[in-house]
Amino acid sequence: MSACGFLFLDKPSGVTSQRALSPLKRILSEKRIGHAGTLDPLATGLLVVAAGKATRLMSWAEGMDKEYLVSMRTGIRTDTLDTDGQILSEAEPFQGQPDWSFLFRPFLGEIDQIPPSYSAISVDGVRSYVRARAGEEVVLPARRVRIDSIEVVDQSPLDATGWALGDFTLRVRCSKGTYVRSLVRDLGEALGCGATVSALRRTAIGQWRVPDTFTGTDTIPELHPVASVFPDHPRFVASLEDRKALSHGHATPTDQADAEDVFCLDGQGQAIAFGKVMAGRFQPDAMLVDPAELGA
Task: Report the candidate in 40, 25, 6, 64 with the shortest Cα–Cα distance to residue 160.
Answer: 40
pLDDT at 105: 97
pLDDT at 138: 81
Does residue 127 contact residue 120 with C-beta atoms inside 8 Å? yes
Ranges under pLDDT 50 in the chain = none
Q: So what's the architecture of 5-64+211-224 in CATH?
A: 2-Layer Sandwich (3.30)
Task: Report the candidate in 33, 70, 24, 73 with the shortest Cα–Cα distance to residue 51.
Answer: 33
- The HSE-up count of residue 36 (CA atoms within 13 Å, CB side) is 28
Residues in the chain: 296
pLDDT at 159: 62
pLDDT at 216: 64
Q: How many angstroms separate the CA atoms of 91 and 175, rounded?
A: 32
Domain regions of the chain by residue span: 5-64+211-224, 66-205, 227-294
3-state secondary structure of 113: strand
CATH class of 227-294: mainly beta
Q: How many angstroms separate the CA atoms of 82 and 77, rounded?
A: 8
* 96 Cβ neighbours under 8 A, 6+ residues apart: none
Does residue 284 contact residue 264 with C-beta atoms inside 8 Å? yes
* 36 Cβ neighbours under 8 A, 6+ residues apart: 47, 48, 49, 50, 58, 61, 62, 64, 205
CA distances from 56 to 109, 273, 285, 289, 294 (A): 31, 10, 9, 11, 18
3-state secondary structure of 254: coil
Strand partners, 160: none
The residues assigned a catalytic role are 40
Q: How many angstroms separate the CA atoms of 196 and 189, rounded?
A: 10
Fold that domain 66-205 belongs to in CATH: Pseudouridine synthase (3.30.2350)
Q: Are strands 281-287 and 271-278 parallel, antiparallel or unpaired?
A: antiparallel
